[in-house]
Structure formats: C-alpha cells, structure tokens
Structure 1
Amino acid sequence: MSAQHNRAWLLVLPAAAVMGFVAVLPLLTVLNYSFHDIFTLESRYWIGLEWYEEIITSSRFWASLGRSALFSAIVLSIQVPLGIAVALLLRGTRHPTLYLMALALPLVVPWNMIPGMWLSLVSPSGLLGTPLAAVGFDYKFTALHTWALIVTMDTWHWLGLVVILSYAGLSAIPQPYYRAAEIDGASRAAIFRHIELPKIAGALAIVLLLRFVDSFMIYTEAFRINAGGPQGATTFLSLDLGEEINGFSYGSAAARAMTYFLIVITVVWAFVQVTRRREASA
C-alpha cells in the first residue's frame, strides 16, 4: 500500500491528543514558569536562567543528587537480583500464580499508607519492633536506621513488580532450550547465564527503567518516614522540590523540576542507547 493511501496513523491521533493534553502542555507550562520570578500566577517577571544557575551552583543540590543516585543504586542492586531469584524459585512450585498474586498485593497499597504502616511496624509495640526489642535492638531514627527502613519499605513495595516481569520472561523461554542444555550437561549457572538471562533481558530493561525513575524521584515514603532527616541524611531531590512548592516559590520549583526531568531523560536515553548497541552487537 502506498504512503498516500495509508491512513492507519490516524488511529494514534486520539492517544497523541491525550498525551499532548496531559504531558506536553503541562511540561511547556513548567518550562515557561522556570524562566520567571513568580509572586502570583498573574504577577511574574522574566529572569532568564537565574534559577538554573542558582540550582546547579548549590552544594545542597549536588548533595541531594548524590543521595538520590545512591538510593536508586541500592534498591536496584537489591530488588533486581532478588526478584530474579524469587522468579526462578517460583518456576519450580506447583501453584506459582498464587505466589505471584501474594507478591503483587503491596503494589495496590496506596503510597501514602505505606510509610505509616512501616512506622507502626517498627514502633516498640509493633509487629517488628517487639521482637527487635526482645533481642536488644533499639530502633532509633538515626541516618543508618532511616536509610535501612526506607530501602526495606521500598523493596517490600516494589519487589512484586520485578518478580512478575522476570517470571513472565522466564515463562516465555521454550522448553527445547532446557532439553538441549540438559543433553549437553550444562550446569545450573550456565543455563541461567546463556539461556535465561539473555531471554529475560527485555523484561529486565523495563524493570530497570521503571524502578530507576520511581526510586530516583521518591518523595512520599521518604518524607513521611523522617521528613528528609536526620540532619538532611535522607533529603532526596524530590524533597527539595516539595519544600519549594510548599514555600510557594513556583519559579524556582519549576526550574528544579525541569532540571530533574532533564537528568532522568538523559539517563533513560543513555540506557536505551546502550541497550540498542548490545542488541546490535549480539
């Protein structure tokens, strides 16, 4: 069919219109605000790149960026290998669907409820606080304890997503691959390295992108646990942004939001380029 007679692209126009309304227009609005000093939405003054200069020259911004990057690296290094291991274990069970449903339950818990639930769990009279106190461990909101709680809470919340996507990728591997490996006498580690891992690479790429973006911009959970404390030890990028929004500094907040957006887009773009090069070389 010639290009002038191809009308299939018209089918994407409704989706494109919705995306333009809910994504592009708000993004352009935030971009416009980032170049202004805003006192009210009706009273704003053009200041150009001053907000961006103030942000990138601030030591607090770089400290928050480091904490956010560290948090993403920690949760990815824990959740992805653990999720793959659980998915491999589920393949040998009789009723994997039941386990997958149980692991998916935390995904439907509202975000604003999760911090309060975990705080009650680690309280001295909580389900976890009581046995911890019995063995002599006193949970205090130190920097180490707060980080450990946020990482544990995030892992509990999102591990099910990693397991489900990994299990879906493993289930799509044809059985002849395993029979051929068995005939060749391949070890379990060799099967995972040469058969399973390459076959679930696509699902893992989705997991890495989703978990990176979400963990990098974590807000509700970290704020409700210790409001960025103690002494700023858990002040991530999103908490700085929330502080400026709550302080009605809309111009600075818009510039900060655009800066974070560019960071995320750059990381995602780099990840996609690396993935494509690996696929091309393979």
Structure 2
Amino acid sequence: MDVVPRQEYEYALSNFRIAHLKVAEQKTQLDEQERQISLLRARIALLEGGDDEPKHTTNRAGGSSVDDFSIRNAASQLERLINRWAAEITNTSQIPLDQMRELIFNDLGHGPANTPPDTTPVQVQNLLRHLMSDTICEGLVNCLVVTSSNEANIQLTRIHEHIFARDSTVASVWRRQTYSAAVENYSLMAILNGAYNFSKMLHGSKASSGGGADAFYKAFVPEIGSILYPRQIELVKRCVMNERGQVDRVGACVFPGLVKVSRGTPTPGQGEAETTQTVVRRAQVICGCALGFNH
C-alpha cells in the first residue's frame, strides 16, 4: 500500500478546495448574468408595450410575416389614393399638359432621353404618381418624420442608423419610443397625411421579422429610364416590348417599393451579425412603351 506524504496530500486538498471555490464563483456569476438578462428582457417587453399582443412570425430572419401582409394592404390603399389624386389633378388643372409634364421633369431632375412631342393625359397622370412616390420615399419613409423640423428629422434618422448598426433591438425600441411622441397632424393634404401614417406604421410599431432579429423598412423609387428588374419592379400595365423579349425601361413609378432591412443576432466569436435586405413589396411601375416614351 502506497502512502502519500502529508505535504502532498494537503497540497492536493488545497488545490481541490480552490477549484471548488472557483466553480462555485463561476456558478454565482452565471446566475447573476441570467438574472440581469431576465431583467433586460422584461425591460424591453415593457418598452415594447408588453407581450399581450399576438406574435405572428416566421422562423427565417428577414422573411415575410403577418406584419408584412398588413404593410402591403396599407400600401395598396395609399397607392389608390395617389392614383385618384393624380387623376383629379390631370383632369381639373388649368395648366396645359405639355407645361405640366415639363414641370414634373424639372422637379425630378431627370427624364427619358427622348420624349414624344405630344403630351397625353395618361403620361401626366402617371408622372404625377411617380413624383408623389418619390416624395413619399425620400421625405416620409426613408427619413423619420417625428418633428416639424426637416433638419431635426434628418438628425434623428442619422441617430437611428448609428444605433441600428450597433444594436438592432435597441434601435427598434428607440423608434417606437420616438414615434410615440411624434406629431399627429403633419400635413393638411390627405395624401401626405396618409403617407405619414403609413411611415409611422412602418417605423413606430413592433417588427416581427422572426429569428430573434429586428428590422426596419426603407423605400425606393426606380429612376425614369432605368432598366426593369423583375425582382424589384412590378408592372401595373401590360408591357408589349417585354412580352416580345425586348428591353424596356421605367416610364413612371406609381408607388415606391419597400425593403425590409434585418440584422441578425450577433454570435460570440463570429464577428458582427449579417445585415439582410428583403423586398417586401416591389415598386409599382408603368413601362416606357405604355406611356409612349422612346428610350
């Protein structure tokens, strides 16, 4: 029988006690971390308005969700409002159609390479829809409209971009809290008021992108004369050139497209989380040949 010297025995016992204390200390730290995480989750839930709302999500980050379906419906209603407004302006305006078309192109800063000499009502109506879509895109969706100051809104948009790049969950809570104090009546024009409410719905409500990720929305308007990309553009009228296999271009965008920008949950040791962009609703476009534009 081997006898362990007392000194070695006490040394081994001392190391065992130290290891046991280290394990107990680590367990205490983990328990504290779990408690802090639970408190943080409860705080986020409180800021989001609680968990009483039904959650309809998918398991794929950045994918489609019930919220996206509601957004499509709201976008369709706003699109119809824009169309009625453009038709009324075209039919009742005392300004000649040629002059209206020229004013729209000057305001946009670009247009087709070759415009037909005769201006038709359908051209003016759809160019007005394009002009309003561009206004909604840049002035109401891609810029957070929270105050009556354009400069302040631009600064708030930059702050959100900075927060979103660091932590998408914090950015989500920040947007909802910011929009809870937003102005309710931004414009006397019904169409801009509807566009503002649409923007507020996009940025001021809970996101349900699924997969533990948060998302926000951006709008885009393809330029007049640009190529038709099926993944980004949906034709609202039949395109004869496209059916013949010929290349046609954008005549007018009658409603902006919407993109969901999602940022996944970062994984320790694997760098920053990946940012994905998903087209929720394609831009509604009328081709150039339908408007008589010779691109």
Q: Which gives a bigger RCO, structure 1 or 2 (Cα 8 Å, sep 6+)?
A: 1
TM-score normalised over the length of structure 1: 0.28
Max Rg structure: 2
Of Structure 1 and Structure 2, which has the larger fraction of its residues in helix?
A: 1
TM-score normalised over the length of structure 2: 0.27
Of Structure 1 and Structure 2, which has the larger fraction of its residues in strand?
A: 2
